[in-house]
Amino acid sequence: MKPTRLHGSQKTRIFGLIAVLALFALAAPMPAMAKPDANLTAQQIVQRANYSSYYSGKDGRSKVKMTITDSQGRERRRELTILRLNSVVGPEAGKGSDQKYLVVFHRPADVRGMVFLVWKRAKGDDDRWLYLPALDLVKRIAAGDERTSFAGSDFFYEDVSGRGLQEDEHKRLPDEDGLYVIENTPKKPGSVEFASYKVWIDPETFIPMKGQYLDRSGKVYRTMEVQAVETIQGNPTVTKSKIADVGRGTTTILEFTGVKYDVGLPDKIFSERYLRRPPRKYLR
Amino acid sequence: MSMMRKLNLQSVIFAVLAVIAAGAPTSLQAQVEVHGFAELDTAARLQDDPAMESDFTLQEARAQLKLEAFGDLAEAHVKLDFVRDELLGETRIEVREAYVTATLGESVELRAGRQILTWGTGDLLFLNDLFPKDYIAFFVGQDDEYLKAPSNSVKLDLFAGDTTFSLVWTPIYTSDVFPTGEVLSIGLPEGMVLEAKAPPKRLGEGEFAGRIARTAGSTELAAYGYYGRLPQPMGIDESGMPFFPRLWQAGASIRRPLFGGIFWLEGAWGATEGDPNETVPEDAGHAFAGFEREMAKDFTVGVQVQVDAPREGDSRTQLTLRLTKLARRQTVRIGFFGFYSPDDKDGHLRPSISYDLSDSVRLTAGANIMWGDATTPFGQLEKNTNAYARVRYSF
């Protein structure tokens, strides 16, 4: 009897299966392996959480798929690519540091080709520009309210690029299910729609896995939930998250694909030149 | 009707060349994408206009097809509008864009072909942007994007750090598209249309526009220069015929954040040329300043003031106001834009509302309301005051 040889196609199938399993292993929410450290202060925890949420790597690229579902079950979809560059690299960046963002819209068709450039400043107002391809127009956008819907979704600008740590008082509550629990109260209550919000942070990855926003009557009206985390180039990365507006009955799911860190994004692409003609090399 | 709204041979040649040029260097790795929209537009006059046969200012079905091909060294963009125009009783193809962009080394870009060009800081006000506008589209109720008309041009950009040098050459002069009495009445007796002497279509009779732009921190600065002709036939020759006088213009602009909003200021000085037996507009200084700010969640207010001051004679001041309110998860957009001149007591109001029925279908309704004395810029269009509706499917 001849020894069984694997055909090319079978080999491909097996490697395919391994690859799929490996992906599943990566995509599965990571169990909190590390135990919470009783010595960490609220400030230290939120700083590390801010770092792992918004400042990983020297730079980053991800493709975002947004599914917005209204109270009647109707869906709207958005697709965009985000390029991000840090001015400070490493955990120190988590204290809050300047960043540049280039956001290229792919879907829906009527906003396709629109590009959004943000110079995010830790101190002072952000600079924002919007490019409208039909008019070949570069429009300057006022910094505006950070708690305004991003692209018509349940996510706010702040959820996409981070909320300044100095804007809230942070208090560590007793741990729950092996997660840090932080209560955040705004220093200027009139400037935001919430009275406070609570986040549950993974002690190993420092990713906020869950969040609840409370209104003035103490009722939860908005929730955030991370549904998938992957380790990409050593950086724990949220690849799927969901925000629900309990009052309106709407939800938005964000899925991140093609995430890459340390792409080598040059500073010059965050300028009017590339706002008018996005750098396809880095978008692929 | 102006030549620009019709398909011309030159544009077709550009479109074909753009496709070939994009395909040639990139045939191995070209990525081609096709998008566009289809829409129905209708706009009705809100009053009788004895000079015009039709009660409508717009009645058309329009499909736009956008083709893009990307290669490593060059890319091509072609945008074609297929139009069934019930008002003029014609079917036509408009080539809105057909150009190739080539990257020549690290810091030089060249774009050649039929293209839509915009620069400057104004909101529906243009001083240093003398690229062609379509003021028929603007008043009849078409989408805002049709205010910008294409030109067959070559644009060269040089990028040096925070400074960009741009030069645009339009070999054959391209004027604005402006009301002549055919689609929009301008106070002429019925059957009469405004005719103007077309400038010679020779190389060397074209237009040059340049800009040096610099970003310094949050502040954007720019200086501009132009040599060509006034975009509308504001000169009168010895036989009484309107023509497009020669124009030299220089200007500058600044734009930066201020008081939680955006502030902009732009100015220009224009000098016209004419023979002794021709009448041309006075040399004139122009300036506008504007400010825009989000006043409440999803509610933005913008104001501008413009002054046009000829060397001799009366100046004209014009104010604008923009209000934008987004509602229902940004699927409803309520907009208002108004022009008003306290000197001439004329104005133009543009209220509009749109609703995104789905990701691909948008319904829009609005109006263009013009008033003033028959001799004023908006007053002469008073009888064209209209309300419009549009449904657009994007893909």
Q: How many domains does chain A have?
A: 1
Q: Would you say residue A9 lies in a domain?
A: no
Q: Would you say residue A22 lies in a domain?
A: no
Average pLDDT over residues B300-319: 96
Q: Return the residue of A nearest to B107 by Cα.
A: A273
Could you tell me if A39 lies within 8 Å of chain B, comparing CB atoms? no
Q: Would you say residue A190 lies in a domain?
A: yes
DSSP result, chain A: -PPP---HHHHHHHHHHHHHHHHHHHHSPPP--SPPPTT--HHHHHHHHHHHHH--SSEEEEEEEEEEE-TT--EEEEEEEEEEEESS-SGGGGG---EEEEEEEEESGGGTT-EEEEEE-SSSPPEEEEEEGGGTEEEEE----TTSBSTTSS-BHHHHH---GGGEEEEEEEEETTEEEEEEEESSGGGSS-SEEEEEE-TTT--EEEEEEE-TTS-EEEEEEEEEEEEETTEEEEEEEEEEETTTTEEEEEEEEEEEE-----GGGSSHHHHHS--HHHH-
> Angle B251-B343-B182 (CA atoms, 0-180°, nearest 5)?
80
Of B37, B157, B298, the CB nearest to A148: B298
pLDDT, position A7: 53
Please tell me the distance in Å from A114's CA to the nearest CA on chain B.
14
Expressed as residue numbers, the domain containing A127 is 35-283
pLDDT tens-digit map of B222-263? 999 999 999 999 999 999 999 999 999 999 999 999 999 999
pLDDT(B387) > 80: yes
- Interfacial residues of B (vs A; Cβ cutoff 8 Å): 35, 37, 70, 101, 109, 115-118, 144-145, 147-148, 157, 159, 162, 164, 213, 215, 218, 220, 255, 257, 260-262, 264, 292-294, 297-298, 300, 329-331, 356, 358-360, 362, 392, 394-395
Which domains are delineated in chain B?
A: 3-394 (2.40.160.100)
Cβ of A273 within 8 Å of Cβ of B157? The answer is: yes
Other beta carbons within 10 angstroms of residue A27's beta carbon come to 14
pLDDT, position B12: 61
Q: How confident is the model at residue B370 (pLDDT cuts 50, 70, 90)?
A: very high
Q: Would you say residue A20 lies in a domain?
A: no
pLDDT tens-digit map of A161-189? 788 888 999 999 999 999 999 999 999 99
Give the strand pairing for A235-245 and A250-261. Answer: antiparallel
pLDDT, position A16: 60
Q: Would you say residue A15 lies in a domain?
A: no
Residue numbers in B near A137 (CB within 8 A): 118
Of A109, A125, A250, the CB nearest to B394: A109
Q: How confident is the model at residue B28 (pLDDT cuts 50, 70, 90)?
A: very low
Give pTM, 2 decimals: 0.87
Cβ of A271 within 8 Å of Cβ of B293? The answer is: no
Q: Would you say residue A16 lies in a domain?
A: no
Task: Report which residue type is found at B118.
Answer: T
Q: Would you say residue A30 lies in a domain?
A: no
CA atoms within 13 A on the CB side of A161: 27
Cβ of A135 within 8 Å of Cβ of B330? The answer is: no
The domain that contains A81 carries what CATH number? 2.50.20.10
Please tell me the distance in Å from B375's CA to the nearest CA on chain A.
31
Residue numbers in B near A132 (CB within 8 A): 145
Q: Return the residue of A nearest to B218 by Cα.
A: A127
Cβ of B360 within 8 Å of Cβ of A143? The answer is: no
* pLDDT mean across residues, chain B: 91
